Amino acid sequence: MPLVAGVDSSTQSTKVEVRDLDTGAVVARGAAPHPATTPPRSEQDPAAWWRAFETAWAAAGAPDVAGISVAGQQHGLVALDADGAVIRPAKLWNDTEAAPDAMWLIEQLPGRAADWAGAVGLVPVASFTIAKLSWLRRIEPGNWSRLAQVVLPHDWLTSRFTGRFITDRGDASGTGYWSPAAGEYRWDLLAVIDRDRDWAPAVPRVAGPTEVVGEWRGAAVACGTGDNMGAALGLGLRAGTAVISLGTSGTVYTVAEAPTADASGTVAGFADATGRFLPLVCTLNATKVTDSVARLLGVDHHGLAQLALRAPLGANGVTLLPYLDGERTPNLPQARGVLSGIPSDVERSDLARAAFEGVACGLLDGLDALRAHAPVDRVVLVGGGSRSAAFRQVLSQLCPFPVSLADADEAVATGACVQAAVAAAGGDHASVAGRWGLGAGERLSDGAHPDAATVRSRYAAQRERQYGV
């Protein structure tokens, strides 16, 4: 029975999933945590990722596999010297210290945001690698002088298997200096940061979607990808279906046949891992919000959900803007959460419900923006937050489309397994997903509650009053 392994290296942990190559049945899993981070400075030593992989791999039984692939957290900056050694801790996607650099970069092109969107499908914000590169040059000139290569977290982990720095189109599309439409690096944008540097040897080669990039312990190593692209593979995602992913952060995305460019910066026009495209909206605040409110109320996740389910839709007028550590969508890196509409007879259940509804409203604003660039007729929920009965109810009541719960415990790791299967046995990603039966789910609702518009309007009005967006 040949096996394949998928590695999900997220901000919080490394997870390993081992599947039967032929049937897709899960054979083993393992996991290990990463060091905790708190924005605005969010950094990790890449060596901690490898230690977590080794622990997770052992927990999964250290199996003999025919293929392996890594799907990693997007956008992070791993800075290397001429010997390939890590210069400083990696800056992660949710590190917001580069917000001034993102604003500066936008100003450097004549058409500002529109030119950036046309060039690389996105507008710089603090999350993207190009802004972090600008930060490194501005803040740490000594480390900048040592910089020889810049890679992404999944690139660095893949190099531990292969000895070479190689990336893929999905993860490269989140840097801000690789064009999904043209399929190539934009040296002119890198020159905005440093026109005297030869950038060609400083960035990894972009492998083809089905390319085998090396061998590790007899296993074919796939090119890997970013975590959102990996999740799309693990869900067997098709055009017309939008994913709402509820992790520490939140994402809303779908697959598209053509590249997208949103000059507002709300929708990032990424590439996917197969040759198509992945327009995506990201929020910094999702389950971290409900975790924080649970701590304040002295309950666990289940207890918070039970409290929220006691309150009616609309939380009796209580509204939470959930921008606890700044926000990416809308782009408010210095913002903080705002609680409003609290009467003297407020109940704990109202606050619990407002936390879930605030997160949901932010994600559904993202869905509205996504629909301007790609068709959507159904929504599927994934991620750890989707296990919450409160998140399932709130999103089912507020979303204007049918909502389903994905049958995917670990969609990112499963997507990496799909890549590993293609590397090991050939074929294409869609055929593997079909053979394994990926994409199934449980129908939760057929459309929004009649009062959904009122709840969302109140949230939007509070956002406008507080932040003018």
Give 162-208 as a DSSP string.
HSS-EEEHHHHTTSSSEETTTTEE-HHHHHHH-TTS--GGGS-EEE-
CA distance 231 to 266: 20
**What's the rounded Cα separation, in Å, for the pair 196 and 279?**
33
| Contact (Cβ atoms closer than 8 angstroms) between residue 298 and residue 430 | no
What 3-state class would DSSP assign to 91?
A: strand
Q: Under DSSP, is residue 395 helix (H, G, I), strand (E, B) or coil? A: helix
Separation between Cα atoms, residue 414 and residue 15, nearest integer Å: 10
Q: Which residue has 């389910």 as its token pair?
A: 309
- DSSP for 2-44, please give it: -EEEEEEE-SSEEEEEEEETTT--EEEEEEEEPPP-BTTB-EE
Q: Which residues contact 394 (CB under 8 A, 6 or more apart)?
A: 308, 313, 353, 356, 357, 360
Specify the amino acid at residue 239: A
Strands (E), 259-310: 268-271, 277-283
| CA dist 287 → 184, 218, 245, 363 (Å) | 35, 39, 10, 12
- Cβ neighbors of 435 (< 8 A, separation 6 or more) are 22, 23, 24
> Residue 333 and residue 312: Cα distance in Å, rounded?
32
Given 227, 325, 350, 365, the catalytic residue: 227
Q: What span, in angstroms and rounded, lies between the C-alpha atoms of 213 and 211?
A: 6
Task: Give the residue from 440, 445, 433 showing the smallest Cα distance to 408.
Answer: 440
Give 104-122 as a 3 state SS string: HHHHCCCCCHHHHHHHHCC
CA distances from 274 to 5, 270, 429 (A): 19, 12, 7
Active site residue 227: yes
Q: Name which of 261, 299, 293, 265 is nearest 277 in CA terms.
A: 261
Residues contacting residue 350 through CB under 8 Å, at least 6 positions apart: 311, 315, 316, 317, 318
Which residues are tagged catalytic?
227
